[in-house]
Amino acid sequence: MEKINLVICGACGKMGNIITELALKDSDFFVKGGVERKGHPLIGKEAKPGVKIFENLEDIVEKNDVVIDFSMPEATMEFLKVVESKKCKFVIGTTGFSKEQITKIKEISNNIPVFISPNMSLGVNFFFEIIKYATKLLKNYEIEIVEVHHHFKKDSPSGTAKKIVELISKERNIDVEKVVRYGRIGFLEERKKEEIGIHSLRIGDIVGEHSVFFGGIGEIIELTHRCYNREAFASGALKVAKYICKKEKGLYGMEDYIKEEVINV
């Protein structure tokens, strides 16, 4: 089998570092190199044996290479221009995009294969399926969401929490913008039945925790996913990198991967 040529953006960050380590151990991949921000001390040097760090993505990628990106939204949008022009395949693990940026990503996916997910952990995406089923089952229960991450995380609420709200809203056929309450600051009224509260905690070095509470009269049902290290995300990113290699163009997510590579296997 021909190896998959892999380029990792944000290669020296926490996620990029683990993805590089795992990819180097996987015989399906050839790690061509990594990309980092301008002025990074490792530019022009090897972050890992054989893995050189570049300042510009266009200096390393070629047609059909797979690019994995865990950086910042602004950087991702710049990488997107390069992968489109070079006809690469793009895996996006970055979160915190604006609506306009998401629209642009969808637009470019008409020309190249793009895989985007706010959370690359397979466990979290199975968690999503459980939440959808629970939402159907517990139709009259109130819902609150709590997410906890390390104090370095910049976007709030997390992309995963936003995804949970989208799934619940879709199942209940309600408008996200009308029902979500962030932390409940400034509300001087009783909780409305249809509200969905999201509460974000930033503390310590917690990799990621998400809890969904379904509240009824005299009882609460709690569903929780906890991630104890970043390897779950990195492993998932490499799995979907292999998946996206089979695609010509289009926008893909974890639901597509699970349906095609897990359920139908």
Task: Identify whether 151 is a catalytic site residue.
Answer: no
Say whether both 156 and 182 belong to one domain: yes
State the total domains in the chain.
2
Indicate if 215 and 251 belong to the same structural domain.
Answer: no
Whether residue 252 is found in the same domain as residue 206: no
Q: What is the pTM of this model?
A: 0.81
DSSP character string of the chain: -PPEEEEEETTTSHHHHHHHHHHHH-TTEEEEEEE--TT-TTBTSEEETTEEEES-GGGT--TT-EEEE-S-HHHHHHHHHHHHHHT-EEEE------HHHHHHHHHHTTTSEEEE-S---HHHHHHHHHHHHHHHH-TT-EEEEEEEE-TT--SSS-HHHHHHHHHHHHHHT--HHHHEEETTTT--SPPPTT-EEEEEEE-TT--EEEEEEEEETTEEEEEEEEE-STHHHHHHHHHHHHHHTT-SSEEE-HHHHIIIIII--
Do 246 and 202 sit in the same domain of this protein? no
* Catalytic status, residue 210: no
Q: Which of 52, 87, 153, 247 is an active site residue? A: 153
pLDDT at 187: 63
- What CATH number does residue 133 fall under? 3.30.360.10
Catalytic residue among 149, 162, 163, 225: 149
With a cut of 70, list the residues of the chain below it in pLDDT: 1, 187-188, 264-265
Domain containing 213 equals: 122-227
Q: What does the pLDDT read at residue 262?
A: 86
For residue 238, give the CATH number of its domain.
3.40.50.720
pLDDT of the residue at 1: 65
